[in-house]
């Protein structure tokens, strides 16, 4: 049995195990299992890798997309540019001497970029509106990379705000109204804290706005509901999850 997994803390919100378990059953893929590894500290990664000899790869979620970098032996060029990893391939051979111990080598990738790009283009079509990116953590790195690739001008927003980054307190209705794409790259609204949402001027939203929430559990968040109430086009993170998961599977299953 080959094992694929997910690391992060906490993992109560995650759909990855369910998604892959159903994929294996539906597509008659035998010999694989998907496990959650809820690690309270990033320092537990080498132990997890060594104690799970059948582990061939794992996904990475909050809060370890950046913290995992020192434990990787190689990082894909795209992930290195972004500075965050959400997918790790595990190779095993007696002659390997990696950062997580002898006999193992870890290579990091970022499939969030792939998933976000495909789903965003499906939402926008030919439009390239100016954007607001809510949050400056690991998830926002993939978002900003795709926006730059597509030539979409954006401003980031965080709780404190520094330099070019706006704070929520300084985000005006005028700025919100003029930027027709708003991406929530924070965990606000994630199960079980479903009553939370980024503090932005929702009354400035119009039917021209597109709101993309990277949160996928629940599929309909307070952020997307606030947008829909005002006629905006909304999208949850489920399509991004699905696309990045399939890209990850290509990496894990590759010989």
What is the set of active-site residues?
65
The DSSP secondary structure of the chain, one letter per residue, reads -EEEEEEES--TT--HHHHHHHHHHHTT--SEEEEEEE-SSGGGHHHHHHH-TTEEEEEE-TT-TTTTGGG-SEE-HHHHHHT--SEEEEEEEEEEEETTEEEEEEEEE--HHHHHHHHHHHHHTT----EEEE--SHHHHHHHHHHHHTT--EEEEESS--TTPEEGGG--HHHHHH--EEEE-S-TT-TT-TT------GGG--TT-EEEE---SSSS-HHHHHHHHTT-EEE-THHHHHHHHHHHHHHHH--
Give the rounded distance of the alpha carbon of 233 from its chain centre: 21
As beta bridge partners, residue 87 has: 59, 109
Query: Cα–Cα distances in Å, from 4 out to 29, 89, 101, 111, 138?
Result: 13, 9, 19, 15, 22
């Amino acid at each position: 049995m080959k094992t694929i997994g997910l690391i992060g803390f906490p993992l109560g919100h995650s759909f990855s195990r369910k998604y892959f378990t159903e994929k294996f059953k539906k597509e008659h893929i035998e010999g694989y299992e998907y496990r959650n590894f809820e690690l309270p500290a990033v320092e537990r990664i080498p132990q997890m890798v060594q104690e799970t000899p059948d582990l061939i790869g794992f996904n990475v979620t909050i809060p370890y997309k950046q913290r995992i970098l020192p434990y990787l032996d190689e990082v894909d060029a795209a992930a290195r540019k972004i500075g965050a990893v959400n997918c790790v391939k595990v190779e095993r051979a007696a002659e390997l001497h990696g950062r997580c111990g002898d006999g193992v080598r870890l290579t990091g990738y970022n499939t969030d970029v792939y998933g976000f790009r495909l789903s965003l283009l499906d939402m926008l079509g030919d439009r390239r509106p100016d954007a607001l990116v809510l949050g400056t953590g690991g998830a926002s790195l993939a978002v900003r990379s795709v926006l730059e690739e597509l030539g979409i001008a954006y401003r980031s927003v965080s709780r404190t705000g520094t330099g070019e980054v706006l704070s929520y307190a300084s985000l005006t209705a005028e700025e919100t109204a003029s930027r027709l794409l708003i991406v929530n790259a924070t965990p606000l609204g994630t199960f079980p804290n479903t009553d939370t949402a980024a503090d932005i001027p929702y009354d400035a939203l119009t039917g021209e706005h597109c709101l993309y929430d990277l949160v996928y559990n629940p599929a309909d968040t307070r952020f997307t509901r606030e947008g829909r109430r005002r006629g905006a086009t909304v999208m949850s993170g489920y399509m991004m999850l699905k696309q990045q998961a399939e890209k990850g599977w290509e990496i894990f299953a590759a010989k």
